[in-house]
Amino acid sequence: MDIWTFTQDGYREEDIVTNGNRFLVGNGYMGFRGTMDEWGRRQMAAVCLAGVYDQNGDRWREPVNAPNGLFARLTVNGADMALGAEKPLEHRQTIDFRRGVHKRDTLFEPVRIQSERFASMAEPHLLRSRLTLTFRQDAEAELLCGIDTDLWDINGPHLFDYTYKTSPFLLTEARTGELNIPVAAAQNASADFPCEETREAAETGVFRRLRFNAAAGQTYTITLAACVFTGLDGPNPGERAQALCGQTRGFAEDLTAHEAAWEAVWSASAVELHGGGGEAARSLNASLYHLHSIAPRHAQSLSVPARGLSGQTYKGAVFWDSEIFLFPVFVHTEPELAKTLLRYRIDTLPGALRKAAEYGYRGAFYPWESQEGGAEGCTDYNVTDVFTHRPVRTYFRDKQIHISGDIAYALWKYYEITGDDSLMREGGAEVILQCARFYLSRAHRRADCDKTELLDVIGPDEYHERVNNNAFTNQMAAHCMSCAIALADADTDFARALIQKLDYDADLALLREIEPKLRPVFAEGALIEQFDGYFSLEDASLAAVRSRVLDEREYWGTNHGVAAHTQIIKQADVVALTALFPSLFSDQTVERNWRYYEPRTEHGSSLSACMYALTACRFRRPDLAWEHFVKTASIDLSGGGKHWAGEIYIGGTHPAANGGAWMIAALGFAGLSVRNGEITLNPCLPEQIETLRFPVCARGKRVTVTVTRQGWTLE
C-alpha cells in the first residue's frame, strides 16, 4: 500500500463535508478545503486564512475566508460539468501527503476532468492548480475560471465593499466588516491551447470565460495561480497579490519549489513506521501532513486553531491544544515553530491581563478560545440545546482556568527541553509570573482551616462544569507557581528586574506560602479523584449513559447533560495529569488510574485517546496503547471525531490529534525524552511495529532515532 497517499473512489454527497477536511491542502498561511474546482459556498469550498478574524453583528467572531481564486467550472455544449449536478461515470479524489498535492479525476460522459492543486509551501501567498480536460467527443467547451467571492461562512458575511479588476490579472479587493482589514485575491490563468477569452466582473466574483472547440480524444490543460494577501501582511495587499501573480513561474516550476519545501519539512519530522500493514504508517503520515499544512512557518508569532485551517469551526480560535498537543512535536523537530506558537502567547499577554481583570482577578487569565491579540473568542453560550433550540450557558470561558497553567507549562518545557532561555527573556518569564499571580488571586483558603483550594473550575473533562479542586487544574496551577518561584530563585539580573517591573515581591512571598498548600498530594498507588465529590457521582456505565441520550446531537455536559452527574467523562483528565507530570507518579499509580478512568471515558474529544496511549506505554502495555494510537492517528482519514455540539457544527481537521499521533509514536512507543538537549529513549513498541525511525532536533542538531525490537540507536 502507498503510505503517502489516500484515495477515495466514487462520489457521495454526504462525504462533501468530511472530504473538505480530509483532502485539505495548506501552508500555514491558508488552507484550501478538499472540494472540487467548480464548487462554491454550498459545498463549503473555502480558503481559510490564518489569524484574520471578523465579527458580524453579535454573532460569533470567526476567521475570514478569502475569495477562491482557483474556481473553475467547465461547460460542455451548454451542460454544466459539475460534480453533484452532473452524474460522473467515474470519480476519484487523492491527497498526496508527501508532496502536499490534491488531485481529482472525474469522468463525465463527454469529458474527463483532472486537476492537481497545492498551497505552496515555498510561497505562503500562492495557491496553484492545473486542470487537464480530455474530451471524449467533439464539443463546444467553455471554462469559467476566476475568483469566486460567494464564500462559505458560518457567521458571515465578513467581506464588504468589493472592488474588481480584470487586468493585468483578475483581482478582487474587499474589507472585513469589523476592523476594515483589506483582503485581496488575484488570479492568473494560462491555457496551452487557443481559446477565446473574455473577462467579467459579476456579482459573485471576477472571472475569465475561455471558449474553445474541443476535439474528441484531445487533452487541454489550463493552469491557475491564485495569490492572497491581507492588510495584516502589510500595505497594498491588492498590488502585492497582482505582483505575485506576475512573478509566478510555470506550474511545474512552482510545484518543484513546493515539493522541495515539503521535503525539508519531512526531513525534520517524518516518522518512518514499519509494520502494521502500512495502515498505521499512512495514518501517521496523514497526521503529520495535516499538522504541517497548518503550521505557521510564515510567521514569528502565531498559533494554530483547534480545527486548523479547515474552516471557521470553533471560531478559528487557539485552545490549549497548541501548548499541550502541538508544542511537543515542534519543540522536538522544529523548535522555531514551537517558539512561534509560544510567542503568540507572549504577545497576547495583554489580552490575558484584561481577561483576568474583567473577572476581578489579577495576573494573566488566558482566553479559552484565543483570537487575534489574545481576544477571548469563547462566549458564555457555546452550545445550542437540541430540545429547545435555545443557547445554553456554558462555563468554558470563565472556569477553564487551567489554560494559563498549560501555557506556563509549555514555556517551562521549552526551556527544560532545549536548555535555551531566550524565550523566557523575550517575555516567557513575564507570562509565567503573571499566570502564577492569576492563580494566587483565584485561589481561596478555607476560613477555618489551612486548606487552599481552586473552586468552581472546569478541568480538561468538560462534561463536569463548575467543580472544586480538579486535580489536573490544581497541579497545573501549583506547577505554574513553582516555575515562577524557580525563576525568581535563579536570582539573575533579569529575574530581579522583572520582579521589580511587575511589583512582584509580595506575590513571591505569598507564592512560597500558597504553592505547597495548593499542590495536590498524590499518594503512591492511590486512585486520584478527578475533583471533589467525583467518586460520589453515579457510577453509570458508558453504555447506560449513552442509552439515556434522546437526540444524537445533544450535548452531554452542562447541568442538563446525560454525563454531567455521572462518572462518565469526556476526555482524559486525571490520566492527562499523569501523562503531563510523569515524574510525580509511579508506573503503578499511572496504571491504577488508567484502569479506573479508561472505561469511564467517552473519548468525546479528539484530545483524549492520545493521553491514554501515552500513559499505557508508561506502564508498558503498548497493546492497550495501540488502539488509542490508531484512533488518534486515523481521525482525519476516517472522518472521525464529533461533528456536532448540540446544534453547533464542530467538524474539521484535528491538529491536536495529529500532534498526539506523533507524541504517541515518539514519546510513547519510542519513549523519547529530551532534557536540556540530552536525548534518552525508553522504547515500548507494540507488536504491530517493527521499526520506528524519526529525526529529533536537539541543541540545534538533527539526530535520527531508530527504534527496533532489538534496541535503539541515535545517528
Q: Name the residues that contact a copy of itself, by CB under 8 A.
A: 360, 362, 380, 385, 387-388, 390, 392-393, 440-449, 452-453, 455-456, 466, 507, 510, 514, 532, 548, 550, 558-560, 562, 564-565
Residues 392 and 558: beta-carbon distance below 8 Å:
yes
Give 240-306 as a 3 state SS string: HHHHHHHHCCCHHHHHHHHHHHHHHHHHHHCCEEEEHHHHHHHHHHHHHHHHHHHCCCCCCCCCCCC
- How far is residue 689's CA from residue 627's CA, in Å, rounded to a whole number? 13
Instruction: Compare residues 545 and 614 and give the one whose CB is closer to a copy of itself.
Output: 545
Instruction: Compare residues 449 and 543 and give the one whose CB is closer to a copy of itself.
Output: 449
Parallel/antiparallel/unpaired status of strands 196-202 and 126-135 = unpaired
Grid coordinates representing 297 are 512557518
Instruction: Compare residues 223 and 452 and give the one whose CB is closer to a copy of itself.
Output: 452
* C-alpha 465 chain-centroid distance: 24
Instruction: Compare residues 153 and 507 and give the one whose CB is closer to a copy of itself.
Output: 507
Q: Return the axis-axis angle of helices 471-489 and 505-518, rounded to nearest 10°.
A: 140
Closest by CA position to 197, among listed 170, 218, 219? 170
CB of 569 to a copy of itself, least distance (A): 16
CB of 530 to a copy of itself, least distance (A): 17
Instruction: Compare residues 33 and 442 and give the one whose CB is closer to a copy of itself.
Output: 442
Output Rg (C-alpha) for the chain, integer angstroms. Answer: 26
- How far is residue 36's CA from residue 106's CA, in Å, rounded to a whole number? 10
CB of 484 to a copy of itself, least distance (A): 13
Neighbours of 684 (CB within 10 A): 17
CB of 214 to a copy of itself, least distance (A): 58
Residues 342 and 357: beta-carbon distance below 8 Å:
no
Q: How far apart are the first and last CA of the chain?
A: 28
Grid coordinates representing 302 are 502565531
Instruction: Compare residues 419 and 520 and give the one whose CB is closer to a copy of itself.
Output: 520
CB of 566 to a copy of itself, least distance (A): 11
Cell 467523562 belongs to residue: 569
Q: Tell me how far CA of residue 617 lies from CA of 269, 558, 608, 629, in angstroms.
A: 21, 33, 15, 11
Among 38, 86, 376, 462, which one carries the catalytic annotation?
462
Residues 511 and 532: beta-carbon distance below 8 Å:
no
Q: Return the axis-axis angle of helices 335-347 and 402-418, rounded to nearest 10°.
A: 140
Q: Tell me how far CA of residue 415 lies from CA of 165, 318, 702, in angstroms.
A: 50, 22, 18
Cβ-based burial of 422 (10 A; exposed 0-12, middle 13-18, buried ≥19):
exposed
- How far is residue 15's CA from residue 306's CA, in Å, rounded to a whole number? 21
Instruction: Compare residues 12 and 445 and give the one whose CB is closer to a copy of itself.
Output: 445
Give 98's contacts (C-beta < 8 A, 6+ positions apart): 4, 5, 262, 266, 285, 289
Question: What phi and psi values does residue 398 have, to the nearest 5 degrees?
Answer: -95, -25
In residues, how long is the chain? 715
Q: State yes or no: is 13 an active-site residue.
A: no
- Residue 95: helix, strand or coil by DSSP? strand
Residues 312 and 65: beta-carbon distance below 8 Å:
yes
* C-alpha 258 chain-centroid distance: 22
Q: DSSP code of 610?
A: H
- How far is residue 406's CA from residue 511's CA, in Å, rounded to a whole number? 18
Cell 536525548 belongs to residue: 679
The H or E element spanning position 491 is none
Instruction: Compare residues 447 and 543 and give the one whose CB is closer to a copy of itself.
Output: 447
The H or E element spanning position 507 is helix 505-518
Instruction: Compare residues 309 and 440 and give the one whose CB is closer to a copy of itself.
Output: 440
Cell 530581579 belongs to residue: 496
- How far is residue 482's CA from residue 454's CA, in Å, rounded to a whole number? 16
Closest by CA position to 598, among listed 631, 620, 576, 582? 576
- How far is residue 621's CA from residue 691's CA, in Å, rounded to a whole number? 18
CB of 76 to a copy of itself, least distance (A): 52
Give the amino acid at 526.
A
Which residues carry out catalysis?
462
